[in-house]
Amino acid sequence: MQNNKLQKYMESGIFSWDESTGMNPITANSFKEFKQMAMDVDPFNPTSNGVPSQFTTLYVNDIVEQVLPKYGFTEIANPAQQGTWTTEQIRFRVVAYSGSIQPYTDFSNTGKAGINYTWVPRDVYRFQTNIQYGDLETAVMDSAKLDLVGDTRRSISTIIGASFNRFGFYGNITPAGVFLSKTYGLLNDPSLPAATPVANGAGGSPLWVNKTAEEINNDVVSAMSTMFNQTGNKNKTTDNYVLALDGSMAAYLQKVNQFGLTAEENLKKTYPNLRVVYAPEYQTILGFQLICENLQGQKAIEDLFTYKYRSHGVVRFASYFDEKVSAGSAGCGVKMPLCVVTKTGIQS
């Protein structure tokens, strides 16, 4: 009878090897030995391995977002929408005056004054981005109280904002520095006057880290002198100016002179309507730009765009959604290049 029971266990697939006793149900001498092997481990009382990690892990409610570089272009240039999302190119009308004079006589009409119109083109770069989110993906994220759809949509605005900032400084350009269209930036517009290096300080270095507060102040004063020459003395020290440079230079503007004034305070006493704007893009020129915002009632530079954000709707597929958004930029409109002075050499 016992051997019959053992045979049934074997036929049911119950095979156990006990290395300590060498017992094997196939070779067990008796049903008693087989039962001894079957009961050598209690499945409801395993060896303790501590507390599961989920009971000792705290998931906080705060979400730490990625830190992105500052988008400084919109602080420098005023936004100027031109056209709509169908606009392909923007052309600015520029009028130039010409003429000559001759000695007066009653019976002569020599001498002539005239005007010349030109139309300066800027191409619009229309770009797009997409997001997708699935049914199961959304439900899984929701179980962890994560707003997948909302956060993904915020990524659209982040990407578009970064793109507008890049177009504002560099235009539509390849990594190799080749323009793909007549979409230029504040740092590389072909119409800008050539950049010039700052002078060396008393220590023989042009770097602001090695200069005194007075020498740093003088670098900006030198740029202002260049501005007066470029505008034909049309600008004034009380005009609105932007001093744009990399944020790593901020500390050096706080150097104190012999009168207890920082370089920045001294500049603002001389030019009361000067704004200082920091943007990491100025690392690429190792310098700064001094910009006169308005001259004779005309804006010097503008943030040119046709549209900032256009949603093309949410499309439902079998088990996911797709959203497409587009925008259009014409880069930086440097309408008055003579109002921009670029200086290099202040950082390494």
pLDDT (tens digit per residue) in 157-175: 999 999 999 999 999 999 8
Res 279 pLDDT > 60: yes
∠ CA 175-308-130, rounded to 5°:
65
Confidence at 7, pLDDT banded by 50, 70, 90: low
The continuous run of DSSP H or E covering 223 comes out as helix 213-231
Amino acid letter, residue 274: L
User: Over pLDDT 70: what percentage of the chain?
Assistant: 86
CA dist 146 → 59, 139, 316, 322, 328 (Å): 12, 9, 21, 19, 31
Residues 92-132 pLDDT 10s: 998 989 999 999 999 999 999 999 999 999 999 999 999 99
Report the pLDDT value the prediction gives residue 72, as an integer from 0 to 100. Answer: 94
Report the pLDDT value the prediction gives residue 55, as an integer from 0 to 100. Answer: 80
Residue listed under structure tokens 């880069």: 331
Domains of the chain: 73-85+122-344 (3.30.2320.10)
Q: Is the pTM of this model over 0.85?
A: no
Question: CA 249 to CA 120: how far, in whole Å?
Answer: 35
In sequence order, what are the residues at sequence separation of 6 or more whose Cβ sits closer than 8 angstroms to the Cβ of residue 286? 344, 345, 346, 347, 348
Residue listed under structure tokens 């996911």: 320
C-alpha 226: how far from its chain's center?
Answer: 31
Residue 256 DSSP one-character state: B
Report the pLDDT averaged over residues 228-257. Answer: 96
Distance spanning both ends of the chain, measured CA to CA:
94
For residues 134 and 320, the answer to whether their CB atoms sit within 8 Å is yes
